Amino acid sequence: MGRHYFTCRPGKAIFIPVASLRRAPRMPQPTILPNSGRQAAISPDIALQVQQYQQSKGLPLEDAVREAGKEIVILQETGKNVGGGSYGGVIEVQVQGRKCAAKKLHETFTGRDVPRRDRAAMVERFENECRRVIYLSHPNIVEMIGIHFDRATRLPTLVMELMNVSLYQHLENNPKPSSVPLSTKYSILRDVASGLLYLHSLPPPLGPIIHRDLTAKNILLNLGSKVVAKIADLGQAKTDPVYATRRQMLSMSPGNQLHMPPEARVEDPVYNASLDVFSFGVVVLHTLTHEWPDPDKGSSGGRQKKASS
């Protein structure tokens, strides 16, 4: 299956390359004409995926096609776990022979013991991440490949490019600061800064976007002759409050407390781009020292002392 959006009209299907849409802040409005007496020129697998999406959302077919007007993919699981994210585990899958990473919602959020309203809210948050990421196009943001809807659960799975390792894992695998060249660390941090600048500079209504959970665990690396770093896991990301409504800003508390500035730990905080800048500073210290930030150990001459030396 090619990389496309689709819009169905009597007698033919029009395929629009995703690349031509990613820079547009607004999504096109695909339509399918009811009672046309003609079958849409899309594969049965994709038609089934759209049908499952329609049933899970309780939408008319036209609205379901419009809502699911993103790239829907058919995948094959390999059974290999490759990490985790804000909402669930990440496994390795294959899409048309290409190895990819697929982020699934954790059953903690979607199990039968979870109230239906809470389950629906979590699925909606996850789908919002999918909608957000599909428009992003930057060499230092992990690329989204598509969306897969599970046949049994009807839950969405976010399919992304597969990276070699997280920055956190890379630092853990090389515990001595001297084991990773300073030039490589500089290149990694520059890539992260470039990705953040892209997110913060996006015009409305798509952006600006605040990541809110930037840590070494959410920075992925492709290792080779030149190490490339990409920002991942936008599950906590939010539109900048300057452009966001109050409803958009009401959400779960953002990520790791050790990466948050003091002003973000108060009751009813306001998040803006400075939150990511502070987190980036913590990532810089982590990358230079190979030590996970831990203020509690600073008084005993532990990691914080090492980070500040």
Residue range 256-303, pLDDT digits in tens = 667 777 666 666 666 788 889 999 999 999 999 999 887 666 544 444
Which carries the bigger pLDDT value, residue 46 or residue 94? 94
Give Cα separations from 175 to 84, 172, 304 (angstroms).
22, 5, 16
Q: Where are the beta strands (DSSP E) in the chain?
A: 4-9, 12-17, 76-84, 89-95, 98-104, 144-149, 156-161, 165-166, 209-210, 219-222, 228-231, 238-239
What average pLDDT does range 93-122 have in this prediction? 76
Spatial distance between the Cα atoms of 91 and 245, rounded to a whole number of angstroms? 34
Most confident of 5-14, 136-145, 244-253: 136-145
Which carries the bigger pLDDT value, residue 61 or residue 106? 106
Domains of the chain by range and CATH? 76-161 (3.30.200.20), 165-308 (1.10.510.10)
Residues in the annotated binding site for ATP: 104
* Catalytically annotated residues: 213
> Residue 185 above 90 pLDDT?
yes
Q: Can you say whether the dihedral through the CA atoms of 189, 248, 271, 155 is positive or negative?
A: negative
Residues in the annotated binding site: 104
pTM of the model: 0.66
76-90, 137-151, 177-191, 227-241: least confidently modelled range:
76-90
